[in-house]
Structure 1
């Protein structure tokens, strides 16, 4: 902390700490904001911070929510209430229509309170409108992932152009989801993920075809992509093209969903209770409730190990046959 700002030694740190405690901050949250922004100890807490906390409460945020926001993003406390925070909220209210949506945006991306919204968000909205994207989809995108709409206009324009070239329909939700996926990573990270897919035999055309079907498939980390692809190809004997045709598989958790369900299916097939022709993709797509009802609860008296398999306690070695996709 002192390497960041040694002036803290000359501040009235005790008063600032007590101020945060009195306003619902836990000791851990105070520690977090201290390490992130020790400069806060140089401010008069009652004069500078209190009006901001009161303003956030007037928006409908609870004391616990305010503490969470400010301990995560303490830089907000250094922003001017009159020149930055209030104008930002007013602009968000104008664009989003009501305070409920404003709160959703703030909770989804705390840093929105630090942006010059009218200089960043409005130009990006105008760009999407000019491409034929309905305002309803723009607002949906912003409320899901505000960060993607708060990019510098030149970079946002590049992404929109790329999505248009790929042939996405501006009237379809997939259009804004594609923008969102591209917006949350750098160009170099995007290329690293493309190379990860290529290393398993997928062509660039197949990768982008999968992206067009399910834009969120590129959100997964490079490590997750490699782990999932390796499991599908090496353990389930799926061809890479099968995966590119079913990109929703790349949104699933390997440890929590895919492996336990494979273990359950393997156990039930080995007991002759489920046919080998069962579609593995269908099994993966089932809701948790339907999967438990159809393949766990139904057979747990007859095959008690099915519960352990579903809990991930039985190691999955692979199927001795090729499953139907």
Structure 2
């Protein structure tokens, strides 16, 4: 885990299971009780699962064998989650992670857990995210596991609100007996040098720490200190959370992904130090956004390693729409310079709309089209002060097409 990052510092001086379509193993297991005609199946699941098509309901879990009686529970399950505000993607995720939930008893198994989370005070949206983050909650005992866990959190955190905040950050907490390991957790934090006054905040910000083996927790903390992290900084908490979740193989895969794009070990280490949460992002997402910055905006990898916060911005929802707006403004002569990329990406949505769209929309009518992604640019030719290598001239600005 940390050994790979530690190696970066020294260098400076899913197994895929047999995949089955959900509709395939349902129809195979249930025989004639479930229609096998493809069009009928697609219609059935569009109707029963609020948008989950045959292609969408794919599980990389082991195929679930259903008998005739269990088959009747499937549509009941899907309707239950639909009626409780779950999106198609959330329902798909639950099916993928816990196929056996499909045959669970709605009244005896599912409803009580929903009521329990509601009684604590979670909103529907919060409850659904927590369940998707930890489907084991639906199979846990309220009396033996969920209630004792929440009571322990309340006692330690000092209030229900703080306990709820911890659960929202780390739903996996509900899988553990908090009280049994709390004393050792506190001892390790003290040994790492975290001041007593900051311990409650540390656990509140990194609640997953309550689920980690104390020996592993101490190892992670010491390695982070060796990498130069200040134990009192927010970056230390974020790095601790990342290193606690990612095992050695996953961490190495993410590091190799950065190396394959051309980042040096020193640059990777700097990214991790400044924005540890970059290690949480999928390899494909990171590759896509780095490719955009390098190939479209002509930023250097070195520059990106110094400003890894750029890597955390959504490419489709923020980076491309805002850059497209700036391209139109610049190419139409509405502005003479764009300035820093940070001034484009980091301001709030409200401020960006006010400063860059509302202000110019009468003069440049196509701004909203650019913001909605309806204009496609082969290149962005406006000048950024961050750009180190750029081949363009203002007279050859690319047009939207």
Residues 1:324 and 2:385 are matched in the alignment: yes
Q: Distance in 2 between matches of 1:62 and 1:238?
A: 42
Q: Distance in 2 between matches of 1:89 and 1:30?
A: 25
- How many residues align? The count is 317
1:267-304 Cα deviation digits (max 9, x unpaired) = 11122222246222322222222222221111111111
Partner of 1:215: 276
Question: What is the deviation of 1:221?
Answer: 1.2
Partner of 1:191: 252
Partner of 2:342: 281
Partner of 1:236: 297
Q: Distance in 2 between matches of 1:290 and 1:63?
A: 30
Partner of 1:86: 147
Partner of 1:37: 101
**Would the aligned equivalents of 2:242 and 2:277 in 1 still touch at CA under 8 Å?**
yes
Question: What is the deviation of 1:252?
Answer: 0.3
Alignment of 1:18-57 (within 5 A): 35-37=99-101, 40-41=104-105, 45=108
Alignment of 1:1-325 (within 5 A): 9=69, 35-37=99-101, 40-41=104-105, 45=108, 59-61=120-122, 73=134, 75-76=136-137, 78-134=139-195, 137-144=198-205, 146-147=207-208, 149-276=210-337, 278-320=339-381, 322-325=383-386
1:107-157 Cα deviation digits (max 9, x unpaired) = 443332221213445433431232122456544454445335423333333
**Would the aligned equivalents of 2:192 and 2:218 in 1 still touch at CA under 8 Å?**
no
Q: What is the root-mean-square deviation of aligned Cα atoms in Å? A: 3.9
Q: Distance in 1 between matches of 2:122 and 2:329?
A: 50
User: Which consecutive unaligned segments of at least 5 residues does structure 2 have?
Assistant: 1-25, 30-62, 387-401
**When the two structures are superposed, what TM-score results if normalisation uses the length of structure 1?**
0.79
Q: Distance in 1 between matches of 2:372 and 2:226?
A: 44
3-state SS of the aligned residue for 1:275? Answer: coil
3-state SS of the aligned residue for 2:163? Answer: helix
1:40-63 Cα deviation digits (max 9, x unpaired) = 54x993xx8888777656544578
User: In terms of mean alpha carbon deviation, does 276-285 or 59-68 score higher?
Assistant: 59-68
User: Which consecutive unaligned segments of at least 5 residues does structure 1 have?
Assistant: none
Question: What is the deviation of 1:71?
Answer: 8.1
Distance 1:7 1:30, change over 3 A: farther
